[in-house]
């Protein structure tokens, strides 16, 4: 400012220095406090909404301060003049309030006013958004100069406040036809985007779509509504239609389905918040491939703050929706949440509510299996990483089973729970057996199951990557240990064979086993006989103390380093091939070395792995076929 009078006035402008703390902090506010420049508009609209709420509250006891019927917040960009004006019909500011509220950082009129409301009735308290006196100064991120013209409700006197944000401001009498405030920003050369109506519309939709007061953007002299204005989550459930809920779900999630479950509630007590959450009925495209973070939108008094507050754990990241609170303290930029027990309590409450919904639906809702097929792999991450809810999540889980028919054409077939499995266990059975692989259909045909089927023992068929991890953390369920059928000897000897058993004369393993172990060397940790095979000749097992075979395979595929753990090679002594190998070992046949390596590669292929050296395997197998063909 040059010290000239404000247009329309005759009195000279008064020049004032900012208070000391403003001089020190203003540069920080402009250059460091906010990560996105567009935040300035959210802050100014929030202040305008506060001022309008304040006037509505004051009008309860002073009719002269009543709001006009068309009260709103107006945003008027002027590209030619490079001006952006935000106007409201709120309570306005007197000269003294301009000095106190805009001349001293962190002395917010909103905050001071909030202290006045401590004794007011709850239903009369306006939803004041501002908690700090720095939001206004965000305007200097995009403006070289800011002019404020304000008229206090109940007064005929208006004043202007003008500053370039460099240490001083000027006050002068002004004119305004009615109470309220105009904030005019002289936009910087590199901030042209904030003069485009489409950009302003997008910012309002993102940050202030659900504040209570209408926001309009002026274009070519016409006002266009810029915000939704309705916060469905704040309404009683009885006042919200299913159509409105579905439309809102699609708006925030960008999905095209209808929600499988809708959770709409208002929490009161130690903490107060409203929530509107949705569980999709279909798995979104590319879901979970880029991030494991929950993106529930956090609002404070209707104003969007962030979707990075992690209001739900990662194992519920498929949930969409909004949580809106009155109680959450924010830091001065409103972008980063303070470490506060309030947020921790909100997280706990929201997580508990979603988990209870899943537990209720799991009991008697036939569609729960559809939910599980969509998101069960995500929920099982919680068994691995969430000790607090591990047992509850294990109770929700659904699994394919060797005891139930698996039909690829009927997705609902072959599923069970851990509790149901436990109810079918043999009286002497101490472990819940499981097998991990790439698909339930291939697992159902695995040689690993032969001995279990022969003894009538049920095995869970786990076919998702996370299944390689969570059993180690759960360890037991209802007192029953979880045990992989590939994890060493599976104590089958105590169970009598009730089905098909291995037949034929047993091979002499005393000579064969050490011969194979010598031939295979470090490729195996042991070679031993097994009674868990019926028709197959060979199978791989993990050592007693080593990781499960599928875990080892998954880690290798993902490029993770892990100690080399050679598998155990188990042989069926009654198999014809094993008997022939035993004869070769007794004869000290030089072919036994190649036969042993082919046998190991066959075992790898059975478990869904590739031979260690595919080309060498092919040559050895071709040689064996030539020999077999010549003997026909």
Which of these, 506, 537, 543, lies nearest to 525 by C-alpha position?
543
- For the segment 521-531, what is each residue's pLDDT rounded down to a tens digit? 999 999 999 88
**Phi, psi values for residue 205, rounded to 5°:** -60, -35
As given in the structure block, the two tokens for residue 541 are 């097992």
pLDDT at 240: 93
- Whether 163 and 16 have beta carbons less than 8 Å apart is answered as no
Q: pTM of the predicted model, to two decimals?
A: 0.79
User: How far, rounded to the nearest angstrom, does the alpha carbon of residue 371 sit from its chain's CA centroid?
Assistant: 17
Indicate the pairing of strand 431-436 with strand 480-484: parallel
Question: Which residues pair with residue 262 across a beta bridge?
Answer: 278
Half-sphere exposure of 404 (CA within 13 A, CB side): 20
Report residue 150 as tokens: 């304000």
**CA 174/CA 180 separation, integer angstroms:** 13
Cβ proximity of 529 and 570 under 8 Å: yes
* Average model confidence (pLDDT) across the chain: 86
Task: Find all residues with CB under 8 Å of 443, minimum gap 6, and list them.
Answer: 400, 402, 435, 436, 437, 449, 461, 462, 463
- What is the rounded distance in angstroms from the CA atom of residue 313 to the CA atom of residue 293? 8
Which residue positions in the chain have pLDDT lower than 70?
Answer: 1-11, 19-33, 104-134, 286-290, 329-339, 406, 408, 411, 488-490, 544-564, 632
**Residue 527 confidence (pLDDT):** 95
The dihedrals phi and psi of 202, each to the nearest 5 degrees, come to: -65, -40
Q: Round to whole Å and give the CA distance between 598 and 421.
A: 37
What are 26-55's pLDDT values in tens digits?
Answer: 666 666 667 788 989 998 999 999 999 999
How far apart CA 220 and CA 609 sit, in angstroms, is 68
Token reading at 567: 């598998």
Q: Measuring CA to CA, which residue among 351, 368, 260 is closest to residue 314? A: 351
CA distance 602 to 599: 5
Q: Kindly give the interhelix angle for 109-116 and 95-102, rounded to the nearest 10 degrees.
A: 110
Cα–Cα dist 252/452, whole Å: 49
Q: CA distances (Å), 49 to each of 31, 52, 203, 258, 322, in order?
A: 25, 5, 16, 33, 20
For residue 559, the model assigns a pLDDT of 60
Residue 294 backbone phi and psi in degrees, to 5:
-70, 140
Q: Residues for the chain: how many in total? A: 632
- SS3 string, 448-495, reads HHHHHHHCCCCEEEECCHHHHCHHHHHCEECCEEEEECCECCCCHHHC
Q: What CA–CA distance (Å, rounded) separates 24 from 19?
A: 9
Count CB neighbours of 293 within 10 A: 14
Q: What pLDDT sits at residue 5?
A: 39
- Output DSSP code: residue 540: E
Tokens of 446: 């695995």
- Of 353, 356, 360, 342, which is closest to residue 269 (Cα–Cα)? 342
């Amino acid at each position: 400012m040059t010290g000239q009078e404000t247009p329309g006035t005759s009195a000279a402008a008064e020049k004032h220095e900012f208070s000391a703390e403003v001089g020190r902090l203003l540069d920080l506010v402009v250059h460091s406090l906010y990560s996105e420049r567009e935040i300035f508009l959210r802050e100014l609209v929030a202040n305008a909404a506060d001022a309008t709420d304040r006037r509505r509250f004051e009008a309860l006891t002073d009719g002269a301060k009543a709001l006009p019927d068309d009260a709103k917040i107006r945003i008027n960009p002027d590209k030619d003049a490079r001006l952006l004006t935000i106007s409201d019909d709120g309570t306005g500011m007197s000269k003294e309030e301009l000095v106190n509220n805009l001349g001293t950082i962190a002395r917010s009129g909103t905050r001071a006013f909030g202290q006045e409301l401590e004794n007011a009735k709850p239903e009369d308290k306006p939803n004041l958004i501002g908690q700090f006196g720095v939001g206004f100064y965000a305007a200097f991120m995009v403006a070289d100069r800011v002019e404020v013209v304000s008229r206090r409700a109940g007064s005929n006197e208006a004043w202007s406040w003008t500053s370039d944000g460099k240490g001083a401001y000027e006050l002068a009498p002004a004119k305004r036809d009615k109470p309220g405030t105009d904030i005019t920003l002289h936009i910087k050369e590199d901030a042209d985007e904030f003069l485009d109506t489409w950009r302003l519309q997008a910012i309002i939709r993102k940050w202030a779509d659900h504040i209570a007061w209408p926001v309009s953007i002026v274009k070519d002299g016409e006002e266009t509504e810029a915000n939704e204005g309705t916060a469905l989550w704040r309404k009683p459930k009885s006042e919200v239609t299913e159509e409105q809920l579905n439309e809102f779900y699609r708006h925030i999630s960008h999905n095209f389905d209808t929600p499988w479950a809708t959770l709409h509630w208002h929490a009161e007590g130690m903490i107060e918040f409203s929530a509107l959450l949705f569980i999709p009925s279909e798995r979104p495209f590319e879901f979970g491939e880029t991030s494991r973070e929950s993106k529930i939108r956090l609002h404070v008094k209707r104003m969007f703050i962030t979707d990075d507050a992690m209001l739900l754990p990662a194992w519920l990241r498929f949930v969409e929706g909004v949580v809106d609170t009155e109680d959450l303290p924010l830091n001065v930029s409103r972008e980063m949440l303070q470490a506060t027990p309030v947020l921790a309590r909100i997280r706990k409450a929201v997580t508990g509510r979603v988990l209870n919904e899943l537990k209720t639906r799991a009991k008697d809702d036939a569609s729960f299996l559809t939910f599980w097929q969509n998101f069960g792999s995500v929920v099982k991450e919680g068994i691995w990483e969430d000790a607090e809810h591990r047992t509850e999540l294990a109770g929700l889980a659904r699994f394919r089973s060797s005891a139930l028919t698996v039909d690829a054409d009927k997705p609902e077939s072959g599923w069970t729970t851990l509790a149901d499995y436990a109810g079918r266990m043999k009286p002497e059975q101490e472990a819940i057996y499981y097998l991990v692989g790439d698909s339930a259909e291939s697992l159902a045909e695995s040689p690993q199951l032969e001995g279990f089927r022969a003894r009538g023992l049920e095995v869970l068929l786990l076919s998702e990557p996370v299944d390689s991890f969570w059993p180690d953390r759960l360890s037991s369920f209802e007192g029953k240990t979880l045990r992989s059928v590939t994890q060493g000897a599976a104590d089958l000897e105590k169970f009598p064979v009730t089905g098909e058993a291995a037949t034929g004369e047993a091979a002499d393993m005393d000579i064969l086993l050490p011969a194979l172990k010598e031939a295979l060397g470090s490729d195996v940790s042991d070679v031993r006989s097994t009674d868990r095979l019926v028709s197959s000749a060979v199978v791989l097992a993990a050592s007693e103390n080593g990781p499960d075979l599928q875990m080892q395979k998954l880690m290798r595929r993902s490029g993770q380093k892990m100690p080399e753990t050679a598998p155990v090679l188990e042989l069926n002594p009654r198999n014809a091939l094993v008997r022939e190998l035993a004869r070769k070992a007794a004869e000290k046949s030089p072919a036994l070395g190649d036969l042993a390596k082919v046998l190991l590669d066959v075992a790898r292929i059975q478990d869904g792995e590739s031979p260690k050296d595919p080309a060498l395997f092919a040559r050895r197998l071709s040689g064996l076929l030539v020999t077999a063909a010549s003997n026909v």
